[in-house]
Chains A and B, each alone.
Chain A
Amino acid sequence: GQSLEQPSEVTAVEGAIVQINCTYQTSGFYGLSWYQQHDGGAPTFLSYNGLDGLEETGRFSSFLSRSDSYGYLLLQELQMKDSASYFCATDPGNTGKLIFGQGTTLQVKP
């Protein structure tokens, strides 16, 4: 089957750095995406890694290692508004059909 595994919950304090890991097992692989979803809201695209290495977008960075079937999302200088669910996702067939991990709920505390 196809699966993406990520921790269910992470807690951190304002200003800190947090890393959310994602390991995947899929029939095909083109890249790993990360989405943020606030409670009751729509998922919003954060970052995409098609190649190994680090992609940086402001306070958010994402990393991919194809050989390890592993990626992570790094959030720096955490703010209260970063409290949300974070999903890793991939499209095994490059058809647009995304498979999502179960999501990691990040709670940022003062």
Chain B
Amino acid sequence: GAVVSQHPSWVICKSGTSVKIECRSLDFQATTMFWYRQFPKQSLMLMATSNEGSKATYEQGVEKDKFLINHASLTLSTLTVTSAHPEDSSFYICSARDGTGRGDIQYFGAGTRLSVL
């Protein structure tokens, strides 16, 4: 199957700093990528849809100025958590859609565990 690479896998930062997370599709082009957030023992919640060459679309309740998304190429999307606070500590996961167009089949990055002190 397709491979999605996510970096870094773990980051610890001080409150008030910004953190950038990268998501790359390694062997296919992804015009659309998705960013999820997952709290411990909970499900994945979609935060936003990253669209190559255009603005991201955010789910209700997700602050777009807090979670900046850039999709500058067909293989790279970045999520920047700006002015991070302890409540932003979570597991962030990106995904890309299967090239066949079947939206239910997605390939996920390994995730980034963010801890804000």
Using a CB–CB cutoff of 8 Å, the interface residues on chain A facing chain B are 30-33, 40-45, 48, 50, 87, 89-91, 94-103
Contact = CB atoms under 8 A, between A and B. Distances in A.
Interface string B2-27: 00001000000000000000000000
A79 to B, nearest CB: 21
Contacts, number: 66
Contact of B104 (A30, A40, A101): A30
6 contacts: A41-B111, A42-B109, A45-B105, A95-B49, A96-B32, A96-B97
A33 B107 CA distance: 12
A101 B46 contact: no
Contact of A87 (B1, B44, B107): B44
Given A95-B103, A96-B103, A97-B34, A42 B108 contact: yes
A44 B95 CA distance: 10
Nearest to A103: B43
A97 B46 contact: yes
Interface residues of B, number: 24
B76 interface: no
B34 A48 contact: no
A30 B103 contact: yes
B104 A90 contact: yes
A31 B106 CA distance: 13
B79 interface: no
